[in-house]
Structure 1
Amino acid sequence: MSAATFPSGPSRISVAIGALFLLLAAGAAFAFPLAFSRGDAIFFVGAEGEKPRLVARGYDPEISPDGRLVAFTLYSEQGDRQIAVVDATSKERRLFPSVPGKNSYGPRWSPDGRALLFSHWDEKESEWFLALLLLDEGTFRLLGPECKGFYSPFWSADGKSVYGQDLEKLCRIDVGEGRVVETLDLAAVLGEAMASSALHVTVSPDGTKWLFDGDVEDSGRRFKSHDGLLSALFLHVPAEGTTRRLGGDLWAAHPAWLPGGEAFLFAGYEAPASGTDQPLPALYRQVLGDDRATLLIAEGGAPSSAR
């Protein structure tokens, strides 16, 4: 979703929730807590064998590293956006009045689970910034105030730095000092992927690998409803300065690492048959080095797992 674009409204949610989900066959279950979305509904999968549970209404869910909480974007009836956190067990919701303005979205948990990074519209500057919220104190501050018009915030693996991009450059900001300490050419990181404000990047637990999604030309014209573009997944290795597109025939977006850093989740779908509507995305699991993806949950998006 573009940073300046709001959803048109809540999607249809079926009453028969149990029929919406297709868990792995042969009795397989999740060995890690998981959060994902479907329309404006946010679901949580906890203990092994547990069915997905509706825990909140909103968008952009991300589960905390310990698997207890889910941060998300909450919409008001007027269309305002704010950061919220829900307890996956009690469904108790927490809001943060210290965050100014009416437009913050896309929370990302720090590796230690003590802070949230997100995109924030500063009304005085009329511009997007990266913002930090310390949960214990409830304190809010902008990071890299010189970084105006920045999107796609994400954390380094050690939690000491955050990153953001302005469609041309990718900047690393020291969290403690709040200033830019490194600037990279975004195109060199993206490879064949196109720059977008909706770029979603996730760093492996050991910090050696980045996964991200990006649009590429749909040369086979298999996904005709996307104006000739196809969302694909990419692997970037910072130490080597290399980026490669991951294989597979699916439209794929919003990657999320699984514990161990060798497998990941993503939302995707197959090319629709001629004359049929575009399908809703489903959740898949894939292992690095293997182009095959395993369907985990039918009809889901924006997955994240506990570390």
Structure 2
Amino acid sequence: MKGKTLLILALACILVLPAPSAGSPEATGPVPFVFSRGDGLFLTDTEGNSPALIRKGYDPEISPDGTEVAFTVATGKDGGGRQIGLYTISTAKSRNYRSVIPGENSYGPRWSPDGTMIVFNHWDPEQSDWVLGLLTLTDGTFRVLAPELKGVYSPFWSDDSASVYCHDLENFFRVSVETGRTAALRRFSEILGEAMPTSAIRFAVSPDGTRWLFDGEVKDTSDWLKSGDGLISALFLHTPADGTTRRITGDRICAIGPAWLPGGKDFLFYGYTEKEISGEGSGFAVFRGTLPEGKTTLLVPDGGTPSARIR
């Protein structure tokens, strides 16, 4: 136990090192990131330090400055509920927002780039549908963002923290955080390219806001997976300025859940190759990808849902 505590403290020290400047073309030095393994959340870095278990939970996302981790926590006597939690790395203390966020079904927290708000998927029992939950950390308040939007998924932030994007499988929306005003930007299919629309698609906006990474299911053309549903997950790069989308992973890897690293050149994701599904463990591993070369490096042999400090 003492060894784990010392490791967490050592990794916490990395978090307070000066982040790369805004003009830095790429990340330099170790970048802290969190990931999940089973029902546990782990902290490590891109230099390969041994992962340290920090607590139980799911869907971890580290804050932009790397000091806190938002996550989904199981609630209720049978663990059938879901709620949003927050873990502070320097103190190793957690808190949840059950007294603030109504209901028992909220998951998938996403930090605003300025680190002051968290948006997440929230089940509204009165509407019997999924809406956008917004937690403002400066005053600990909760509200439903644009309550007229129902049946929406995959929320993520604009780089200036002023807007939240989401979709309803057919349309793609932008919602103003200040006013709640909603604009239907495009048909969702126009952004996805060859990917299929699902509620589980995850977007990640580059630090400078000019590019979006996302995952999506496509037809499996591999000679090794041959999944029962005939699908494989791939990563895509979308450029909002010109509306183009291109696939960046091939059929030698199933790739899910992208997360940018500082500088906007490298990113993390999880998934598997033929090696992972034929071995022991969860079948998932955490990888590092590089643009534009398309190079992929294994970081964590057994883990998923990575999220890195971006500042």
TM-score tier, shorter chain, comes to 0.7 to 0.9
Question: Which residue identity lines up with residue 148 of structure 1 in the other structure?
Answer: K
Shifted more, 287-296 versus 165-174: the winner is 287-296
Shift of 1:275: 8.1
Question: Which residue identity lines up with residue 70 of structure 2 in the other structure?
Answer: A
Count of equivalent residues:
280
Contact in 1 for aligned 2:215/2:236 (Cα 8 Å): yes
Contact in 1 for aligned 2:46/2:299 (Cα 8 Å): no
Q: Structure 1, residues 143-192: CA drift from partner, whole Å, max 9, x if none?
A: 11121000000000110000111110110000000120342110000000
Question: Which residue identity lines up with residue 281 of structure 1 in the other structure?
Answer: F
Contact in 2 for aligned 1:265/1:304 (Cα 8 Å): yes
Shifted more, 187-196 versus 82-91: the winner is 82-91
Match among 195, 198, 212 for residue 196 of structure 1: 198
Shifted more, 218-227 versus 281-290: the winner is 218-227
Instruction: Write the mapping of 1:261-300 to structure 2, written as runs, cut at 5 A.
Output: 261-271=264-274, 280-300=283-303
Shifted more, 218-227 versus 159-168: the winner is 218-227
Instruction: Write the mapping of 1:12-161 to structure 2, written as runs, cut at 5 A.
Output: 31-45=30-44, 50-76=49-75, 77-78=77-78, 79-96=80-97, 97-161=99-163
Q: Classify 1:282/1:48 alpha carbon distance in 2 versus 1 (closer, same or farther; 3 Å).
A: closer
Distance 2:198 2:269 in 1: 18
Contact in 2 for aligned 1:272/1:278 (Cα 8 Å): no
Q: Classify 1:226/1:53 alpha carbon distance in 2 versus 1 (closer, same or farther; 3 Å).
A: farther
1:184 match: 186
Shift of 1:141: 0.6
SS at match of 2:138: coil
2:240 match: 238
SS at match of 1:224: coil
1:206 match: 208
SS at match of 1:113: coil
SS at match of 1:45: strand
Question: Which residue identity lines up with residue 113 of structure 1 in the other structure?
Answer: G
SS at match of 1:187: helix
Contact in 1 for aligned 2:218/2:233 (Cα 8 Å): yes
Distance 1:256 1:273 in 2: 20
Task: Report the TM-score, using the length of structure 1 for normalisation.
Answer: 0.86
Distance 2:44 2:278 in 1: 35
Q: Structure 1, residues 63-107: CA drift from partner, whole Å, max 9, x if none?
A: 001111110000024310000001123221111111001100000
SS at match of 1:220: coil
Contact in 2 for aligned 1:70/1:88 (Cα 8 Å): yes
% identical equivalent positions = 50
2:13 match: none
1:170 match: 172
Distance 2:44 2:277 in 1: 35
Name stretches of at least 5 consecutive residues in structure 2 with no aligned partner: 5-27
Say whether residues 1:252 and 2:255 are aligned partners.
Answer: yes
Q: Classify 1:278/1:263 alpha carbon distance in 2 versus 1 (closer, same or farther; 3 Å).
A: same
Shift of 1:51: 2.6
Contact in 2 for aligned 1:101/1:122 (Cα 8 Å): yes
Shifted more, 147-156 versus 176-185: the winner is 176-185
Task: Report the TM-score, using the length of structure 2 for normalisation.
Answer: 0.85
Q: Structure 1, residues 18-39: CA drift from partner, whole Å, max 9, x if none?
A: xxxxxxxxxxx96111010011
Q: Structure 1, residues 100-150: CA drift from partner, whole Å, max 9, x if none?
A: 011000000011111110000001111100111011211001111121000
Shift of 1:272: 5.3
Distance 2:65 2:151 in 1: 32
Q: Classify 1:197/1:269 alpha carbon distance in 2 versus 1 (closer, same or farther; 3 Å).
A: same
RMSD: 2.2
Question: Which residue identity lines up with residue 185 of structure 1 in the other structure?
Answer: R
Name stretches of at least 5 consecutive residues in structure 1 with no aligned partner: 1-15, 17-28
Distance 1:87 1:147 in 2: 32
Q: Classify 1:90/1:189 alpha carbon distance in 2 versus 1 (closer, same or farther; 3 Å).
A: same
Shift of 1:206: 0.6
1:11 match: none
2:17 match: none
Shift of 1:277: 8.4
